[in-house]
Structure formats: C-alpha cells, structure tokens
A and B are shown apart, each in its own frame.
With several copies, the nearest count.
Chain A
Amino acid sequence: MGDALGRGHPRRGPGMTQLADAGPAPSPDAAPGAERGPRRPRAVYVLGVVVLAILAYLVLSPLFYLAWRGLTTGEGFSLANISAAYSVEGTPEMLVNSFVFAFGSAAVSTVSGTALAFFCVRSNAPLKPLLYAASIVPLIIPGILFTIAWVFLLSEDVGVINILLRSVGLDFLQIDAFSLLGMALIDGMHLSPLVFLLMFAAFKATDPALEESALMSGASVPSVIRKVTLPLVRPALFGAILVMVVRGLESFETPAVLGIPSGNWVFTSRIYQALHTYPVRYDIAAIYSISLLLLTVAGLLFVQRVNRRGERFQTISGKGFRPRPLDLGRWRWPVSVLFALYFVVVVVLPVAILVWMSLLPYYQTPSIDALDTLTLRNYERMFDMPGVVDAVRNSAILAVTSATAVMLFTSVVAWFVLKSRMRGARFLETLASFPLAMPGLVLGVALIFIYLRSPLPIYGTLLILFIAYVTRYLPYGIRYATSSLGQVSAELEDSAQMSGATWRDTFRRVVVPLMAPGIVAGWVYIVVVSVRELSSSILLYSQDTRVLSVTIWELWENGETGVLAAVGVVMVVALMILVGVAYKLGARVGVRDL
C-alpha cells in the first residue's frame, strides 16, 4: 500500500494513512482487474461471491445429477439417450403441438394476465376488487381440479357453458375443451395469475406522468397503452412470456387430461410418460428437460438482450413520481363489463363447479334433480381426515418460509444482475432460471440422491422440502425481482449513497421498499404454488413432514373428488384471506398509492 502511494506522487498528507486504513485501494500491480468501480466496496464483492455460491449450489447440484443421468448409460458417457428420446414415432407432430400449445396458452395467460393487471393497477375501472379476485383465484385451485372443472364447463356434450350456448342458439361460440384451442385456453386461464402478479408489480412502478404526456400528445387510451405503458414494462412482460412458454412446454396436467383423449399429443406428454411409465425412464426425461433447459437459456438470453438498456425502463424516478390511476374515460364501463364477464367465467364458474362438486357424493351435471343429493359429508370427511392438521401446518410453514427466502434471496441476486455493474452478473439470472426446466420429480430424485449422502441430517426433515421449494421457485422469484427492480431509477440509490448509506442501508431502506410490489407479488405466487407443489414433495416428505399437496393427491388418487373439491373450496377461501393480508401489509412498505 505504502509503495503504491509513495511512488512519484508528491501529495502525501496525513489523509493518506487514513485512506490506507479505509482499505479499498489496491496497489496498481497487485490485481489489475480487481478494482473496477467506485460503487463496489469490498463487502459487496464478498456478498456477491456468497450469493453466487448459494445459487450455484442450489441450482447446479441437481443439474449435474440431471445431466449425468441424461448423458450416461450403463456403460458410461453416451448420446444414445438423446437419439432414444427423439426417435420416438410422431416426434415432429408432437413438437409442433407442443409449441402451438405452449405459445397458445402463453398468449392467453399473457393477454388476460396483463390486461387484468393493467386495469387493476393503472386504471380507475370500477369493480377493481372483482378483477383482483379474478386474477388470483385460478392460481389457488389445484390444477387437476381446475382442469376437471373446465371439462365440466366446456366439454362438447356435458359442458355447462356449451349446453347454455346451444340453448340460446349461439352454437358457433362453442369451444371444445378437448381440442388444442380448448387446452390452450384452459391452461392459459389457469396460469394467468402468474402473469397477473408479475405485471401487477410492473404496472405499480409505472410513472403516470409518462402516460399523461402521451395523452396530452393526443394519443387515445389504447395507443397510450400500446406505445407507452407496455413498452415501459417490457422487461416484466417478456420475462412473463418466457416463463409462460417454458411452463407451457412442460405442463402436463392439461395436456394429459385434455390432450391425449383428443389425440393432441404434446412433447411433455412424453416426459410425463417417461416419468410415469414402468420402469421410469429418467434418462429420457433428463434429455427432455435438458432440451427444455437449452430452450430456457436461449429464451432468457433473448429477453436479456431486448432488455439490455435497463435505464430505459426505469420509471420510478426521484422527480415528480406520483402513482395515480389513469382515467379510462369512455373506456371505463366497456372494460369493466368485459372484466366482469371474465370474472364470471374464470372465477365464478369454476369455483361454482368446485362448490357444486364438493356438495355432491358424485359428480352430476347441475340440475334440479341433483339438488336432492346435496350433502355436506365431504366437508365432514375433510375435517375428519387424520394428519390434515399437520399437513396444513407443514405446508403453511414451508410456504411462508420458502416464499420469504426465495424473494429475499432473489432480490439480492436481482440487485447484482441489474445494478452492481459487475461483469458477468447477468449470468446469475441465467443460473437462477435453470430450475424452470427441471421437472419436480427429477429435482426430488436429485435431492434424495444428494442428501442421502450428506453428513447433515437434512434427509427426511422439512429442510429438504424447503430446499426443494426454494430451488424450484428461484426462477419465478428472480423474474419478479428483476422486473420490479429494473424499474427503479438508479439515482434513488445514488442519492442514498450520497447520504452516507452503506450498501446494506441502501438495499434495505431504499431498494427493497421500492421493489415491494414485486416482492409481495412474487411472495404471494410462491406461497400459493408451494402449497400445491406435489411432484417433488411426494418423493421427499415423510410421516412427520406431510404436506397438504400430498393429501390432495391422495384424495385424487382415491377418487374422493368430492372431498378434494371441498379442500379446494377451503383453500380458495383461506389463501384469498392470506393474499389479502399480504397485500395490506405490502402496501405499507412501498410507494404509497394516491
């Protein structure tokens, strides 16, 4: 240090020593690249390394296992599995179907989720609470129930909606659930809450002045939305689309229930089959998920590329930022009617079917006769079931802790990705997105593999489930975190620094509160989906760590659809309350609405 300062520099006052104590001034010949920016004191580097280590551990360990399984046969490394996976008859059609389905359902969920979020956050549309409910409820209904409920609503013969449409002579509006269109529609509606929550956070951060100035330029409300509002939330939007497409490619509840009967085989029905056949073809499943992984990475690179000029999306500024709804003018009522309709279709009908199912000993098409058989037995059964209390408790603990952990962790990761200006920080985002392509079952197997060999007593405890959930939901967390942090203008952090705030102060008191809408939305999403998480839970739970989703699965396996529907109804009610509370609390943290 001394030589560094001494060399040929006449100015060398008492301050120098002090400076040397302060630290961050490496000698010039020591590590040329080590010191890159004034904004990155060493502590932040340490944190960065810790974050990277945790992330790599969580993500790469199962991934290596996966790759190893995919690329080895009994005899060692081999590409045989790849050809086995892709040489199945009908692969091209399946691929086409898959993409049609994935993009179709992504389109449905993106459009509906974005529209809902926009009108919920940024407009003065009446009936906002309805929109809000409409947006979250489908997330809460267990997937298989949602799909079944929709079969009962939309199937050609017994579908309530189709029967209604026929009776009023609107046959041409019928949509068959058992078709690619129906599949995309139903799956899209089921997944739209994910988009809704993402966009909800993004729209919260839009500076209304930008829309107002577009209005003053004479733009109509639709073109304001198209040319200003949406481009400004592009990172969130593209992120959402990416997640939706990948999810669509790997979702199998809908393709299985609706696709196979109609002959619409999709790619993931193959993974599903590979995983649900005897003996399970983990190797092939692994190949499929590696393909999916490559696709995810490609998609993510694309998203990162379109979003690369981050400052163009920074809308929470420190000057004149004043959140307020946009006056829809004459669009107010038409929009509201449209969304009331959506509400009826996506929330009221499926939930009604759910309630209906829960009140019947077996399913009957709604009719007067059926009313005689109504019974509350299913609810009694539900409360009598042994272990339900424990399962609810475990699920609650896991949901809350893993959602909290994921959101806190991904917020930090997002900060590194977007704000640290560290080289290669983008890679963290890619890394955190990997689990998106990993089927839950495979993740479960990988975790068993790892923790059976770990000296730490993690196997068979809640902790292993916690690790599984955190890993599985990292990709969602990172999307929520990056898209909301991307909208926070850098100068707000600058001004905190100028106030003398350390990194921690800045992060805790400025960054996190400003990201609050995204953090809360992500938290809500993870809480809800982790209550439903089955595919890795079922491998990892044990007597003491039963979770609710296993109970749900058992009910389904046992054909107790009535009780299951009852559970679904109770979940909808309970989680709605939780979500409500979360938002009430969340609203205290961030920028206040007007």
Chain B
Amino acid sequence: MLQVDALCKAFKEETASKHDRVHAVDDVTFTVEEGQFFTLLGPSGCGKTTTLRCIAGLERPDTGEIVVDDHVLFSHDRRISIAANERNLGMVFQSYAIWPHMNVFDNVAFPLRVGKRRRTPKAEVTERVERALNVVELGHLAGRYATKLSGGQQQRLALARALVIEPKLLLLDEPLSNLDAKLRESLRFELKRLQREQGITTVYVTHDQSEALSMSNAVAVMKDGRISQLGDPFDIYLKPANPFVADFVGTTNFIDGVVREQTPDGWVVHTADGPLTVAATSGVGVGDECVVCVRPEHVEVLRDDSSTGGDNVLTGEVQTRLFVGEAMEYQVRLPNSQLQCRTPAAARLSSGKPVSLHLPPAHCTALPRPEARAGSR
C-alpha cells in the first residue's frame, strides 16, 4: 500500500556556519501493507513529523521515493511530485492546524465541501460530520468557534476532520497527546475499528510506547532521522535490536557484563554483581562485552526474609518507590548497580528495606554494549 524508499530530507540551519544542515530524515525505508496500522515511534526531534509531511506532500524530500498503491507520489529520480491535495490522504497535524475562522462543524465539513468531494450532498455532509464529531465526543459543540475550544477539544476536532474523509491512507501525528486516558482509549478503539472496517491504512506518529505497542501491526523506532528498528510490537518490545530501542520502548535495566560461556539454558554473563544466565543474545558471542537487559516488570521482587541466593538472584535494598496507579515502581540499589522493578501496587515495600531480586533468564537478553548510550536528541 505505502512504500517509502530511501527518503532523505535535510533543513538548512542558519546558525554560524552557513552550510550546516539538519538531517531531519535520513534514508528512511519502510513498507506498510493495506489495512495495516503502522507506527513511527521515537524521541522528540527524531524526524517523525518530517517523514509524515514528506508522505503528505507538504515537504519536498531531497531524495527518495514514495509510492502509494502503485501510484508514485514522489520520486526524486523520476522527477515526480504529486501535489498534496491530489494525494487524497487524511492527516492530523501535530499543531492541529484547525481553522480559527470557522466553527467546529465547518471545520469538519470543510473536506467534504472542496476538491473532489465538493459534490457531497448536503444531507450526507451533515450526517458524516455529525458522526465524526460524535466519535470524538464533540457533537454537542458543533456550533462553537474553534478558537473557543480547550486544548484537548481542539485536538479532537483535528482528528474528526481527518476521519471525516475516510481516506485510503491516514497520517496521524500524535493525535491523542492532549487527551486523558479514557478518551484516548475510546479513540484508539475507534481508530482500530475504522481501520478494520474500512481497511484504512494508517501511519501513526506517537511518543507513547504503550500506544504504539498496543495498536500497531508494525512499529518503526526512529532515532536521529534513521529507523533504528522496524518490526512487530512484540519484537520491538521483547527483542530489541539495540540498547537504544530497548531503553526507549519501555524502561529497561541494563547491567554491564561479559559473555562467559554458552550453556544449554542459554548464556552465562559475568557482571559486577554476580553471574547471570540469559536465554537470548543478539549480536554478541562468548567473550564479548555486553549489556544484559531486563524489564522492570519482569524482575521478581522477593522480600529479603524469603529465600535468598539461587540462580539469577541479586540482593540489594529499596532506594525509592513511586506509585504509578496500577503498580509500584522501585529503584533497588545493588552493590554495583541499580535496578528498577515494578510490582502490583498492593505489595508495598518501604525505602531502605533489603530485598532480593530474581531475574528470570527467559526475560534477560544480552545485547552489544553501545559506545555512547545517551543519544543526542
């Protein structure tokens, strides 16, 4: 359905030296199948919006090719560039871009009153607009001017405007960032429904990992304009290709170590806090320096008074705890490192308490050690 091939886009940077360029999108390639929900995930400033704008035709890529349904929308080599309004895509802008001179209804009705859809009968316009407004729970504000909406209402309006077209390809740039969890959930559900029922293909930009993982058929994690990993949500989450992805997609504990030997159960990694058995490795062999990754929710917290010692059990003491609603998060200080773990909210441990942590080998992965872990943004 959508193929993006070797897309590059750089901006001029006007500071000091004249020839600086910001490589906002740098050789990005991906394919989205018909009806898929594809997510671009990445830290702020990594080039998500720019990629989306290139697909939309609002930004002219430097090189690359964009094909939708065998229509070449843009090709640098073939000098093709279809105008944005002829690409027939729906888009929600990160900055909403709703028209201040129209009221809510007119904002949503606009796409049905211009261009190819100009001839939509009036009754149908009303009906579709109302449906779209109801989906985003703005039905009762149809007559209000767009400038008088709250932030979240504006964002929902932007979403309704994109949905009303029911386009083949929907480009959504953080469409739910200003909404509360309840509303987000119901809108996510609505998006999924649309996608399923009408086969709308969606490219979704989000900074919210759980949103990305729960909704997508495929996720591309971007960093500094490049795709760092591309795969289905499970792979991204459970088998990150590199520490950046592991770190970015949900919190992860990293424990530095060296791979010592391969056993039937997996690999044994020696760390400063003791040997750990890991079930999987990616890109490291025996003798290599590595990091052992384990997610906080996979770390089992055993009160220190229960069994101590044993395989993959480390001991330390609770440093801080954080209540995050459905769970408690603890920072546990080990002799040489620090681990984060997450337990159901009911099990409360207070700061300073000694604990043992069990790291199930099945949930530990050894990845190559990155040169500099903190990526610039």
Q: Which positions in A face B, CB cutoff 8 Å?
A: 4-5, 9, 11, 13-16, 18-19, 22, 24-28, 35, 37-41, 207, 209-210, 212-221, 223-224, 227-228, 231-232, 234, 309, 311-323, 327, 329-330, 489, 491-492, 494-503, 505-506, 509-510, 513-514, 516, 589-592, 594
Contacts and interface: CB of A to CB of B under 8 A. Distances in A.
Nearest to B71: A15
B81 interface: yes
B165 A15 contact: no
A212 B84 CA distance: 8
A318 B93 contact: yes
A313 B100 contact: yes
Contact of B86 (A26, A41, A207): A41
Interface in B154-206: 154, 158, 161-162, 165
Contacts of A510: 99
A322 B88 CA distance: 24
Given A9-B78, A497-B84, A509-B110, A321 B100 contact: yes
Contact of B110 (A5, A317, A494, A496): A496
Which of B72, B98, B114, B116 has the most C-beta atoms of chain A within 10 angstroms of its own C-beta? Answer: B114
A594 B58 CA distance: 14
Q: Which of B56, B85, B148 has the most CB of A within 10 A?
A: B85
28 contacts: A9-B77, A16-B71, A19-B71, A24-B81, A24-B82, A38-B58, A209-B93, A215-B57, A216-B84, A217-B85, A217-B110, A316-B100, A318-B99, A320-B95, A322-B100, A323-B100, A494-B84, A494-B93, A495-B91, A496-B110, A497-B58, A498-B85, A498-B90, A499-B111, A499-B165, A501-B111, A502-B115, A510-B99
B40 to A, nearest CB: 17
A496 B58 CA distance: 11
B228 to A, nearest CB: 26
Given A313-B101, A318-B93, A15 B72 contact: yes
Given A218-B165, A316-B100, A320-B93, 17 more contacts: A15-B72, A35-B79, A41-B83, A209-B97, A210-B97, A213-B99, A217-B110, A219-B85, A219-B111, A312-B100, A312-B101, A318-B99, A318-B158, A494-B97, A497-B57, A497-B58, A498-B84
A321 B154 CA distance: 10
B89 interface: yes
Given A28-B78, A330-B83, A505 B114 contact: yes
A416 to B, nearest CB: 16
A592 B82 contact: no
Interface in B30-76: 56-58, 60, 67, 69-72, 74
B95 A318 contact: yes
A492 B114 contact: no
B147 interface: yes
B117 interface: yes
B94 interface: yes
A49 B243 CA distance: 55
Interface of B: 14, 56-58, 60, 67, 69-72, 74, 77-86, 88-91, 93-101, 110-111, 113-118, 145, 147-148, 151, 154, 158, 161-162, 165
B201 to A, nearest CB: 15
Contact of B97 (A15, A26, A320): A320
A15 B168 CA distance: 15
A329 B83 contact: yes
Given A592-B101, A594-B148, A19 B72 contact: yes
A7 B95 CA distance: 40
Nearest to A310: B147
B93 A28 contact: no
Q: Which of B88, B93, B96, B158 has the most CB of A within 10 A?
A: B93
A13 B161 contact: no
B79 A217 contact: no
A217 B86 contact: no
A189 B228 CA distance: 58
B101 A513 contact: yes
Contacts of A40: 83
Contacts of A317: 95, 97
Contacts of A497: 57-58, 83-85
A163 to B, nearest CB: 42
Given A18-B71, A212-B58, A505-B114, A320 B151 contact: yes
Nearest to A221: B85
Contacts of A314: 100, 147
B154 A320 contact: yes
Contacts of B67: 11
Contacts of B93: 209, 212-213, 318, 320, 491, 494-495
A499 B81 contact: no
Contacts of A218: 85, 88, 111, 114-117, 165
A40 to B, nearest CB: 7
B48 to A, nearest CB: 14
Given A216-B91, A219-B114, A592 B145 contact: yes
Contact of A309 (B83, B91, B114, B145): B145
Contact of A492 (B83, B97, B111): B97
B70 A11 contact: yes
B79 A25 contact: yes
A223 B83 contact: no
